[in-house]
Amino acid sequence: MKRIATFISYLFHPLIMPVVGVFIFYTITPLFYEFELKKIVLFSLTILTIFVPLLIALVLLKFNIIQSFKLSTAKERMPPLLINTLIIGTIIFKLMPRINTPELYFFFVGILGSNFCCLIMALFKIKASIHMTAIIGVTTFLVGLSFHYALNVTIALSFLVAISGLIASARLYLKAHNMAEIIVGIFIGLMPQLLTIQYWL
């Protein structure tokens, strides 16, 4: 069971969720976007939101700034969260204006807000579940898209809700978080997306 819980934690890691959100957008939007543009955007975001943070984490690990990729303490979380906040900010100010897509722009503004909230929590030694923050942020974005385009996304939404439950169960089973930290993570993922959704819905 521990292996399954660990597998779920890695498979649905928070780093992949921004790319998942963008992929969902391009999959369900009725608006036309050239394939080359979608490919460039997804490739750029994969590099910036997955591979760059992983490389930075390796450097932090080598210099003993973090003890493991699990980021078991609030103190260990601060450097990666700060770096990730800067990366998301760079994406918002440099990449998003070129794409000129309000839905994605404010999706990333919401992600930035969630990152910043997690960073503030870490400063107060509160370990909000970043796994839950990420999956709930994407789920909220999907709900917004369904209203925006008047689409029936019941199957996709059910899948994300089920995944959210699996992630929460896995994190609790591994004792990576307690229930309070799971709930705080859900709230931090939900609220920034709800606050920014009004600007494009």
Residue 110 has pLDDT above 90, yes or no: yes
Kindly report, residue by residue over 71-101, the tens digit of the pLDDT.
Answer: 778 888 999 999 999 999 999 999 998 888 9
Q: State yes or no: pLDDT of 28 exceeds 90.
A: yes
Mean of the per-residue pLDDT values of the chain: 94
Residue 67 banded pLDDT, cuts 50, 70, 90? confident
Side chain identity, residue 175: K
> Which pLDDT score, from 0 to 100, does residue 95 have?
92
> pLDDT-based confidence at 180, cuts 50/70/90?
very high
Separation between Cα atoms, residue 24 and residue 104, nearest integer Å: 11
Q: Measure the CA–CA gap between 95 and 21, rounded to whole angstroms.
A: 16
What is the number of structural domains in the chain? 1
Residue 13 pLDDT exceeds 90? yes
Q: Is residue 69's pLDDT more than 80?
A: no
Residue 37 sits at the vertex; the CA angle it makes with 32 and 40, to the nearest 5 degrees, is 150
Report how far residue 95's alpha carbon sits from residue 100's, in angstroms, rounded to the nearest whole number. 9
Mean pLDDT for 66-70 is: 78
In terms of residue numbers, what domain contains 9? 2-197
Tell me the pLDDT band of 178, cut-offs 50, 70 and 90: very high
Question: 119-172: per-residue pLDDT in tens?
Answer: 999 999 999 999 999 999 999 999 999 999 999 999 999 999 999 999 999 999
| Percentage of residues in the chain having pLDDT higher than 70 | 100
Contact present, 164 and 135 (Cβ < 8 Å)? yes
